[in-house]
Amino acid sequence: MMRRDVRGRNSWHGGLYLRRLIAIPFLVTPIFLFALNCHSQDNPLFKIEENITRFAYSGSGRIAYATRHVFSVKKIQLQRDDVWIAETDGKRRRILLGEKFVRGTGPFSYTVRAIRWSQDGGKLAVELGTSEMINDDGDTREGVMTLLLDDAGREITIPGADSVIPGATSAAWLTDGASVVYLTEQPQEKAKSPAAANEPFPPPSTAIFTRRLPAQASARRSASA
C-alpha cells in the first residue's frame, strides 16, 4: 500500500494509492431504513448492504450514497468511489461510475468525503478527496474538489469551473436550486517589508464563495429531474 517513507514523501509502493484511503474501512457499513414505530431493528423498511462510505437523504426520502470502488490500471491500484441513488421503493441505480471519472493525466484516486442534495432533490454536490501521481518517483499531490451532478448522473457545468470546483469543501445548494456556496482556501501574501523577506508564508485563509448555474443549464437540469 502507499506509505510515507523516511524522507517524508508519499511512495507508490507495490502500485497503491492515496494515503488517506487506509482509514476508509471503519466507515464501510450497510444502510438500514426503519419506520419510526418499529419496536426493534429486525424489521427495516429496506436495507442497502454494500461497502457504503457516505450517504445523504433528500427531502423526498431518496438516499444518495457512495460505495468503495478499487481497481487496477497498469499494475497501479486506484480507488474512485461510485455514487448511487436509492429510491423510496428500494430500487437502486448507479449515477457515477468512478472508474470512468478522470481528471488530469496521471494516475488519479479519490474518495467521496460528503454528499449534499439540493432542496428540490434534483442535484447533488459531491465532495472528493483526491490524490494524483505527479512523477515517476511516486510523489503525489493531494487535494479536494466538489463535483456537481444531477440525479441522473449528468455532470453540471458552471462558468469557469467545468463540472468540478477545485479546492471547494462543505458545498451546499441554495434554495434557488441554481446556486452553490462553498469554502475554499485562499493563499496569503507575504508582507513586502525587508524584514519579512526571510519569513515563511502565512497559512492560507478560508473564504466563502458562491457560484450560480447559467440560466439555460439550470432550466435544463430542473426539467430533467
> In the prediction, which pLDDT does 6 show?
31
Per-residue pLDDT at 83 exceeds 50: yes
Query: Is-contact 110 130, C-beta < 8 A?
Result: yes
> Alpha carbon of 2 to those of 19, 76, 77: distances in Å?
6, 11, 10
Report the length, in residues, of the chain: 225
Residues contacting residue 190 through CB under 8 Å, at least 6 positions apart: 196, 199, 201, 202
Query: What would the pLDDT profile of 185-204 be if each residue is shown by its tens digit?
Result: 866 565 455 555 555 545 55
d(CA 52, CA 74): 26
| Each residue's pLDDT tens digit, 99-153 | 999 887 778 899 999 999 999 999 999 999 999 888 877 788 899 999 999 999 9
Categorize the per-residue pLDDT at 8 as very low, low, confident or very high, splitting at 50, 70 and 90: very low
Instruction: Give the highest mean pLDDT range of 18-27, 140-149, 202-211.
Output: 140-149
Rounded Cα distance, 2 and 10, in Å: 7
* Residue 148, pLDDT score: 95
Determine the average pLDDT of the residues in 22-35: 47
Average pLDDT of the chain, as a whole number: 75
Please enumerate, as own/partner, the contacts of 31-37 that have beta carbons within 8 Å and a separation of 24 or more: 31/55, 31/63, 31/65, 31/86, 33/63
